[in-house]
Chains A and B, each alone.
Chain A
């Protein structure tokens, strides 16, 4: 699987997850926090979803809102974290 395909799969899974969680249709580049509403429950669910689904740890400065603003930014975050862990594990 190429990196692009991989990212697309992450995006599709996220779109499905968000549709269930928010009971609304979500677009790839739709700002999830456009209305200014950030609930602690939703933020936590996003972080835990990405971590458990893709085996990454999202900590420290990676926890900033901008990384979670859209499906595209979240998929990019997952890709970067997986690349980084591949490098440190010498894969």
Chain B
């Protein structure tokens, strides 16, 4: 792993003589090579975001991108006359990406040098290497998931959502209701497993144990009738949020053991963690079993402890906790569940866990 360069999360394109052949303001007509279009489409399908830093007339350039049918592939395009290092930095900031995960492609050595000078972490690529970027390891994620294929769409939706929230005058709760949130819980299938693994790797604030479950282990648990591997996805009127939560439950006699709960930090303001805990509590109440949740404190997951506590979990002892036996450093939080109503701020589509 150590020898692999970090994955590029966003490639920033120059336009003239890089994305297309020709100089828009001088030649008037520019030509887009099909092989370059293929590069854009391929990177997009791998979940690599793409943006633009071009010294050009913004309206003209955007119109040309639309004519080529490429405009929607680029997020946060920066087209103007300022230094390119400024626009590359602004793109990284707005995406909340580290500069080391940004690459910049341009035909002009002076532009690459300017970006490299001010932002040495950014990888600068000469335009004549454009067709080979798809072969580079830093542009090749290990697994391409449903979510990576839709990553650009999810970012575009989140820009719109954030803009609307900033302009929204009423209470936050009214804004949440206006989103038409739909939370869906599914038993994981083979395709969703990659999303689960990605989530356990990416979450830290909202991971109850900090334990990473590998694909192989999850595959085994999925096949085990006594385990439930549950994936949560969230959608709203702006589009998909993708997979936002994973829950691992071991069903035992009189007890459901919540071995893992992790939710994406992208959705901590949406009430997903509490909605999930409410749902599993309601399911457990209907099954007539107690819930025991593993919690292992890390430096960053206090939010998850609060979520459990607010959902009613306590340290009170119970025979069922004793039966599970000890585990070093892991706290066992206990709940005698009651029936709970579905949340008022989102629609919830869930499986029935009480039927095997």
B 335-352 binary contact with A (CB < 8 Å = 1; else 0): 000000101110000000
Contact with B along A21-49 (1 / 0, CB 8 A): 11110000000000111111111100100
Is the C-beta of B206 less than 8 angstroms from some C-beta in chain A? Answer: yes
Distance between Cα atoms of A42 and B206 in the complex (Å): 14
Nearest chain A CB to B182 CB, angstrom units: 15
**A60: interface (CB < 8 Å):** yes
Per-residue CB proximity of B293-319 to A under 8 Å, as 1/0? 000000000111111011110110000
Cβ-defined contact, B176 with A37, below 8 A: yes
A61 within 8 A of B: yes
Question: C-beta contact mask, B77-110 vs A, less than 8 Å → 1, else 0?
Answer: 0000000000000000000000000000000000
**Mask of B272-308 contacts with A, CB within 8 angstroms, 1/0:** 1110001000000000000000000000001111110
Contacts of A44 in B (CB 8 A): 268, 302-303, 306
> With A64-B309, A65-B312 in contact, do A40 and B268 touch (Cβ < 8 Å)?
yes
Residue-wise interface mask of B (258-272) relative to A, using a CB-CB cutoff of 8 A (1 in contact, 0 not): 000001000011111
Q: Considering only CB atoms, which chain B residue lies closest to A42 in the complex?
A: B269
Distance (Å) between the CB of B176 and the closest chain A CB? 7
Residue in B closest to A64 when the chains form the complex, CB atoms: B309
Question: In the complex, which residues of chain A have a beta carbon less than 8 angstroms from the beta carbon of B171?
Answer: 22-24
Contact of B270 among A21, A39, A61 (CB under 8 A): A39
Residues of B within 8 A of A36 (CB): 278, 341, 343-345
How long is the Cα–Cα vector from A74 to B289 in the complex, in angstroms? 32
B173 at the interface (CB under 8 A from A): yes
Bound together, the chains give a CA A21 to CA B59 distance in angstroms of 39
Are B274 and A64 in contact, CB atoms less than 8 angstroms apart? no
Task: Tell me if B172 and A23 are in contact (CB < 8 A).
Answer: yes
B225 within 8 A of A: no
Q: Which residue on chain A has the smallest CB distance to residue B273?
A: A40
Asked if A35 contacts B274 (CB within 8 A), the reply is no
Are A41 and B268 in contact (CB-based, < 8 A)?
A: yes
Measured CB to CB, the nearest residue on chain B to A39 is: B271
Q: CA separation between A64 and B307, bound complex, in Å?
A: 10
**How many chain A residues have a CB neighbour from B under 8 Å?**
21
The contact of A68 among B173, B270, B310, B314, by CB within 8 Å, is B310
B170 located at the interface, meaning its Cβ lies under 8 Å from any Cβ of chain A in the complex:
yes
A41 to B305, CA, bound (A): 12
Most buried by A among B269, B274, B314, B345: B274
Nearest CB to that of B263 among chain A residues? A40
User: Are B173 and A61 within 8 A (Cβ)?
Assistant: no
Q: Report Cα–Cα, A51/B278, bound state, in Å.
A: 26
Chain A positions within 8 Å of B270 at CB level: 39
**Chain A: minimal CB distance from B280 (Å):** 15
Q: Is the CB of B170 within 8 A of A64?
A: no
Q: Which of A21, A22, A40 contacts B306 (CB 8 A)?
A: A40
Residue from B176, B274, B312 in contact with A40 in the complex, judged by beta carbons closer than 8 Å: B274
Most interface-central of B170, B310, B345 (chain A CB within 10 A):
B310
Decide: A41 and B314 in contact? CB cutoff 8 A.
no
- Look across to chain B and name the residue whose beta carbon is closest to the beta carbon of A61: B314
B305 touches A39 (CB 8 A): no
Distance to closest chain A CB from B167 (angstroms): 12
A60 to B305, CA, bound (A): 9
Q: In whole angstroms, how far apart are the Cα atoms of A35 and B271 in the complex?
A: 12
State whether B310 touches A64 (Cβ < 8 A): yes
Distance, CA A42 to CA B270, complexed state (A): 10
> Which residue of the partner chain B has the closest CB to A38?
B274
- A contacts, CB < 8 Å to B: 21-24, 35-44, 47, 60-61, 63-65, 68
**What are 25 sample pairs from A and B whose C-beta atoms fall under 8 A apart?**
A22-B171, A22-B172, A23-B169, A24-B170, A24-B172, A35-B343, A36-B344, A37-B343, A39-B268, A39-B269, A39-B270, A39-B274, A40-B274, A40-B303, A40-B306, A41-B268, A42-B269, A43-B303, A43-B310, A61-B315, A63-B305, A63-B309, A64-B314, A65-B310, A68-B310
4 A-B pairs with least C-beta separation: A24-B171, A63-B309, A38-B274, A41-B268
Binding site for A on B (CB under 8 A): 169-173, 176, 206, 263, 268-274, 278, 302-307, 309-312, 314-315, 341, 343-345
